[in-house]
Amino acid sequence: MEARLNIMASPVAAQALKHLVAAGKALGESTLPAATRELVMLRVSQINGCAGCIDIHTKEATAAGETAQRLHLVAAWREAKVFTDAERAALELAEQGTRIADAAGGVTDEAWADAAKHYDEDQLAALVTLIAVMNAFNRGNVITQQPAGDYRVGQYA
């Protein structure tokens, strides 16, 4: 499979993507737990069908010590016993924040309140920004049909 477009060949797109990458790196410095960040990035990417980001985040999470069991169960997190209440709240917020067009009214007050029980204001801000940034990456990759499967851990560090 070949990508439809080498987006990095466009000076304007490459500059914009540099800002998205910088935003992602800043989020890595937040106090939002690293495991939560990886689970959220994976779930958002699954919902959006972004093979490239699924490849990246499963490999990065594994390298960081995440278990195969938890990674395999992210898509069905509601029925899985392996996630904490805080992780469940983050995954619910990620799903609702990603499926805004599918849910009249966007993110529910209940989902927000549940997340706010587990995360402080800075962590909530990081979580919201992470969901938005991942959706942007996913959409660009899906639109241009970026191929997946050969990512190496740390490749974009």
Q: Give the chain's domain count.
A: 1
pLDDT for res 3: 84
For 135, phi then psi, to 5°, come to: -60, -40
* Residue 64 falls inside a structural domain: yes
Q: To which residue do tokens 């007050």 refer?
A: 109
27 in a domain, yes or no?
no
pLDDT at 78: 97
Please indicate, yes or no, if residue 4 is contained in any of the structural domains: no
Q: Strand runs (DSSP E) across the chain, as ranges? A: none
pLDDT of residue 101: 83
- Residue 149 in any domain: the answer is no
Q: For residue 120, give its domain range.
A: 32-144
Domain contains 81:
yes
Would residue 82 count as lying in a domain? yes
- pLDDT at 8 (0 to 100): 80
The pTM of the full predicted model, rounded to 2 decimals, is: 0.92
Ordered per-residue pLDDT tens for the chain, 157 residues: 788 888 888 899 889 989 998 998 899 899 999 999 999 999 999 999 999 999 999 999 999 999 999 999 999 999 999 999 999 999 999 999 999 988 767 899 999 999 999 999 999 999 999 999 999 999 999 999 988 888 899 887 7
Looking at the domain assignment, is residue 92 inside a domain? yes
Query: Is there a domain that residue 10 lies in?
Result: no
Q: Is residue 3 a contact partner of residue 147, using CB atoms and an 8 Å limit?
A: yes
66: domain CATH number is: 1.20.1290.10
Q: What local confidence, expressed as pLDDT, does residue 6 receive?
A: 80
